[in-house]
């Protein structure tokens, strides 16, 4: 009986190297893009934006699908007034994915909100170049032209484009009211 117990103990014990290898495997399993994204979303829901941002950025670094990560990452940063951080994440993402119109649109609006009008306009105009029927970009450029540049004709042009694309959109009433010549 004693011999059997000793054999069992020997078979069950692990060496430090085996233990380290098992720990490393567990750590790698915990660092998958899916797990990191899951944790980032959970921390966002729990109201811990710092940890949410860290996990979401790590998920991107680990190879998570940017389409699944970027909206949440930007939302977490913006909701918590971390605009510079949101800009940095957006710029880094756009270096790898320059055709991501949604991220570029958010980036343009962030720049404008921080008073960096030149960069904001450039980002918004690039959105229009990439997707001419992007209503939100037309609206943002219209407001920028009207409120910042005092250029009613440029504002009118973008408000008209916004109305052409989204005649019943959430900004339609404001767009119609801002036209140089009203349209029905």
| Distance between start and end Cα atoms, the chain | 96
pLDDT value at residue 181: 79
Q: Please report, rounded to a whole number, the percentage of residues in the chain having pLDDT higher than 90.
A: 81
Q: State which CATH number among 1.10.260, 3.30.70, 3.90.930, 1.25.40 fits the domain covering 32-97.
A: 1.25.40
pLDDT value at residue 27: 46
Domain ranges of the chain: 32-97
DSSP readout, 90-121? HHHHHHH-TT-HHHHHHHHHHHHHTT-HHHHH
Query: Mean pLDDT of all residues in the chain?
Result: 88
Residue 23 has pLDDT above 70, yes or no: no
- Averaged pLDDT, 58-85: 96
pLDDT tens, position by position, 149-172? 999 999 999 999 999 999 999 999
Q: Tokens in use for 174?
A: 């404001």
pLDDT value at residue 19: 54
Instruction: Give burial (CB, 10 Å; 0-12/13-18/19+) of 134.
Output: buried
How many other CB atoms are found less than 10 A from the CB of residue 162? 27
């Amino acid at each position: 009986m004693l011999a059997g117990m000793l054999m069992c103990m020997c078979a069950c014990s692990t060496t430090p190297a085996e233990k380290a290898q098992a720990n490393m495997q567990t750590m790698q399993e915990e660092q998958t893009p899916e797990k990191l994204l899951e944790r980032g979303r959970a921390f966002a829901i729990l109201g811990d934006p710092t940890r949410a941002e860290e996990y979401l950025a790590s998920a991107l670094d680990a190879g998570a699908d940017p389409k699944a990560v970027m909206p949440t990452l930007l939302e977490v940063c913006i909701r918590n007034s971390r605009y510079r951080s949101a800009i940095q994440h957006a710029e880094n993402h756009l270096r790898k994915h320059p055709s991501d119109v949604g991220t570029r649109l958010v980036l343009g609006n962030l720049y404008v909100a921080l008073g960096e009008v030149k960069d904001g306009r450039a980002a918004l105009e690039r959105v229009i170049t990439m997707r001419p029927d992007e209503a939100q970009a037309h609206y943002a450029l219209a407001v920028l032209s009207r409120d910042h540049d005092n250029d009613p004709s440029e504002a009118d042009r973008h408000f008209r484009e916004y109305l052409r694309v989204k005649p019943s959109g959430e900004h339609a009433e404001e767009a119609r009211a801002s036209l140089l010549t009203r349209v029905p």
